[in-house]
Amino acid sequence: MTSDPAGLTVADYLDAARDMAAAERPFLAHLLAEEAARRVDDPDAAQSIRAQYSNPTAQRD
């Protein structure tokens, strides 16, 4: 991984999201995954990423 955020790839963000999820940091995992989804060109892939790392603070009915 690089220290320049502009140089990070989708894979870098997803790796970091997995690490944060494993460390029981779900909100950070969500933020990292959201950035990965934003950088993906395929809308279906972006939706899949968002589904895997949903916002833990979202209101659920």
Higher pLDDT, 6 or 34: 34
Name the band, by pLDDT with cuts 50, 70 and 90, for residue 42: very high
Domain residues for the domain of 41 are 8-52
* Structure confidence at residue 7 (pLDDT): 87
- Whether 13 is covered by a domain: the verdict is yes
- Whether 57 is covered by a domain: the verdict is no
Name the band, by pLDDT with cuts 50, 70 and 90, for residue 56: confident
* 32 exposure class (CB count in 10 Å sphere: 0-12, 13-18, 19+): buried
pTM: 0.84
- Whether 58 is covered by a domain: the verdict is no
- Whether 61 is covered by a domain: the verdict is no
Is pLDDT above 90 for 49? yes
- Whether 36 is covered by a domain: the verdict is yes
Average pLDDT, the chain: 90
Count of domains in the chain? 1
Using alpha carbons only, what angle is made at residue 32 by residues 26 and 25, rounded to the nearest 5 degrees?
A: 20
